[in-house]
Chain A
Amino acid sequence: MALFLYLFKKILTLGPTFLGITLISFMVMHLAPGEPMSLQADFNPKMTPEMRERLRAQYGLDRPLHIQYWQWLKGLAVLDLGRSFSPDRRPVLDKIKERLPVTLLINFLAIGLILVIAVPLGVVAAVRHNSIFDQVSTVFVFVAYAAPAFWVALLLMLYFGVHLGWLPISGLHSLMGYEQMSGWERLLDWCHHLILPVLVSGLGGLAGLSRYTRSSMLEVLRQDYITTARAKGLPERRVIYRHALRNALLPLITILGLSIPGLIGGSVIFESIFAIPGVGQLMWTSVMARDYPLLMGNLVIVSILTLLGNQLADIGYALADPRIRTGVQVED
Chain B
Amino acid sequence: MPWQTREFVQAFRWRIEELSGRLANNSLAVAGLLIVGLLCVVAISASWLAPYDPQAIDTWHILEPPSRAHLLGTDPLGRDCLSRLIYGARISLLVGIVAVGIATVIGTILGALGGFYGKWIDGLIMRFVDIMLCFPTIFLIMAVIAFLEPSILNIMAVIGLTSWMGVARLVRAEFLSLRQRDFVLAARISGASNTRIVFSHILPNAVAPILVATTLGVGGAILTESALSFLGIGVQPPTPSWGNMLTEGKDNLEIAWWLSMFPGMAILVTVLGYNLLGEGLRDALDPRMRDSGKNN
Contact = CB atoms under 8 A, between A and B. Distances in A.
B128 A148 contact: no
A261 B146 contact: no
Contact of B147 (A17, A29, A129, A157): A29
A91 to B, nearest CB: 19
B183 interface: no
Given A143-B272, A162-B253, A269-B231, A21 B219 contact: no
Given A146-B275, A265-B136, A28 B143 contact: yes
A262 to B, nearest CB: 7
Contact of A154 (B133, B136, B260): B260
B249 to A, nearest CB: 6
28 contacts: A13-B127, A13-B130, A16-B127, A17-B131, A28-B143, A28-B144, A29-B143, A145-B271, A146-B272, A146-B275, A147-B268, A148-B264, A151-B246, A151-B267, A152-B264, A154-B249, A154-B253, A158-B253, A162-B254, A258-B133, A268-B139, A272-B231, A283-B139, A287-B146, A299-B135, A302-B136, A304-B134, A307-B134
Does more than half of chain A's interface fall in helix, strand or loop, or is it mixed? helix
B296 to A, nearest CB: 5
A125 to B, nearest CB: 12
Nearest to A126: B296
Given A148-B264, A154-B250, 8 more contacts: A16-B127, A29-B143, A146-B268, A261-B134, A265-B137, A268-B142, A269-B227, A295-B146
Interface of A: 13, 16-17, 20-21, 24-25, 28-29, 32-34, 36, 39, 129-130, 142-143, 145-152, 154-155, 157-158, 162, 218, 222, 258, 261-262, 264-266, 268-269, 272-273, 283-284, 286-288, 290, 292, 295-296, 298-299, 302-304, 306-307, 310
A314 B253 CA distance: 43
A150 B135 contact: no
Nearest to B296: A129
B257 interface: yes
| Residue of B142, B249, B268, B288 ringed by the most chain A CB atoms within 10 A | B142
Contacts of B1: none
B135 A261 contact: yes
A217 B254 CA distance: 44
